[in-house]
Amino acid sequence: MSHSDVVMDFINAWNQMDWDAVEDALAEDVFYHNIPMPPAEGKAAAVAFIRGMDVKAVNWEVLNIAENGNVVLTERVDNFVMADGKEVSLPVMGTMEIEGDKIKVWRDYFDLATFTSQMAG
C-alpha cells in the first residue's frame, strides 16, 4: 500500500463518517494541526476534536494528490453538512506524513474566514 493509498483510505473513511476507521488511521502520537487553529497533540486530542464535530454529512473532494517519500499532499474541497443543516464548503491544502501505515503528522491549511462566514450565514 502506498502512502497515497493510506491517505485516500483515510479520506474515504471521513466521507463514510466511519469514525472508528478515521481513528485507526492515526498514530498514537499524531500531531494534528488545522492551521490557523491550535494544534491537537496525540491521538486522544485529535480524536476528541474529530468526534466533537457535529456533522450530518461529509464529502471531501480530492482535486490533486502528490506523494514524495513519506509525505502526501492533498488539494481538497472539504464539504460538510452541519447538524443544524448549514452547508460548509472549504478549500483545503493538506499535508500528511505517514509512518508505517499510520498518519503521524497531519496539517490542513485553510482560510478561517471562509469557514466562519459560512457558519454564520
What is d(CA 98, CA 63) in angstroms, rounded to the nearest whole number?
20
Which residue out of 5, 24, 78, 111 is catalytically annotated?
78
Inter-residue contact 13 to 25 (CB < 8 Å): yes
Closest CA to 7 of 70, 59, 57: 70
User: Dihedral angle at the C-alpha atoms of 77, 103, 39, 15, nearest 10 degrees?
Assistant: 30
Residue 5 bears catalytic tag: no
Which residue out of 9, 54, 108, 111 is catalytically annotated?
108
Distances (CA, A) of 42 to 27, 39, 97: 8, 10, 14
Q: Which residue has the cell 509525505?
A: 71
Residue 9 bears catalytic tag: no
Rounded to an integer, what is the distance from CA 24 to the centroid of its chain?
Answer: 13
Supply the residues annotated as catalytic. 78, 108
